[in-house]
Each structure stands twice: as C-alpha cells, then as structure tokens.
C-alpha cells in the first residue's frame, strides 16, 4: 500500500510519500495553496502518478488536543477533498510536526515536505506496528 502524507498550511501543503512494506516516509514536494480547485487537480495527478492507496493529512490541534482556527479552515478543505478524491483520507494529529521540521531545516521551504514526512512516519509507526 502506498501512502501520501500531507502537512496542510495557509500558503503551502507539504507532501510526503510512504510505503507499507518499507514502513518509511520520505519528503516528496511542496504545493503552493492558492485555490482549492488547483490543489485538488495537483493532488489527483500525484495520486495517479504515484499510485497512492491512502492519504494521511495532518490535523492541527492545540496542546490540549482541541481544534484551532486553522483546523476549522482545514476541515472545509478536507470535505472538498473527500468529495473529489475517491481514495481514503485519514486525519491524523500533527501537533508540533512543523516545529520539528523547522528545527531540522531552518528557513527552507522544503520544511513543509519534511513536516509531511514526520506526520506520515508517525502514522506508519503507530498504525502499521499494530499489524
């Protein structure tokens, strides 16, 4: 099974790829977010090209585990994605992943893809280890 990890943001969506057999995630690329329609088209192309079976999207929560203002905006985007994309989409707690990525790659735009890698690797570690 092939996975696409997404670190959503206001301006950029970081993407990572992962594979069930390897149980590893890798930074893939960063999409600039301007319009939901463009984002969906870009994602559809990537899903087909990379033969993705499941999407893991980071859901930003505060330290107490409650939704934030960004979470509410993201929930609307997720609803649109679920309407347009037939692949299963799983929301996954992404607390602190962007901060971890920023520490690894100070000032680089690619930190969004590394944050997506961290989200996806966390998912793979937690979910696939139960199999």
Q: What pTM value is reported for the model?
A: 0.81
Local confidence band at 71 (pLDDT 50, 70, 90 cut-offs): confident
- Report pLDDT digits (tens) over 40-65: 999 999 999 999 999 999 887 777 77
Q: Count of domains in the chain?
A: 1
What are the tens digits of pLDDT across the range 77-118?
A: 889 999 999 999 998 877 555 555 455 555 555 578 888 888
Q: What is the pLDDT of residue 49?
A: 97
Question: For the sheet containing 12-19, what is the strand order?
Answer: 24-32, 12-19, 2-7, 54-59, 89-93
- Note down the domain range covering 98: 2-128
Which CATH number do you get for residue 62? 3.30.420.140
* CA-angle at 80, arms to 77 and 83, nearest 5°: 150
């Amino acid at each position: 099974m092939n996975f696409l990890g997404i670190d959503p943001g206001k301006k950029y969506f970081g993407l990572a790829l992962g594979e069930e057999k390897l149980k590893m995630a890798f930074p893939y690329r960063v999409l600039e977010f301007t319009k939901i329609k463009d984002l969906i088209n870009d994602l559809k192309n990537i899903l087909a090209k990379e033969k993705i079976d499941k999407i893991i999207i980071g859901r930003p929560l505060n330290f107490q585990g409650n939704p934030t203002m960004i979470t509410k905006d993201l929930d609307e985007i997720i609803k649109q994605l679920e309407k347009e994309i037939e692949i299963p989409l799983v929301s996954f707690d992404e607390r602190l992943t962007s901060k971890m990525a920023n520490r690894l790659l100070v000032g680089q735009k690619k930190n969004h893809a590394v944050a997506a890698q961290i989200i996806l690797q966390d998912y793979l570690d937690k979910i696939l280890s139960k199999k």
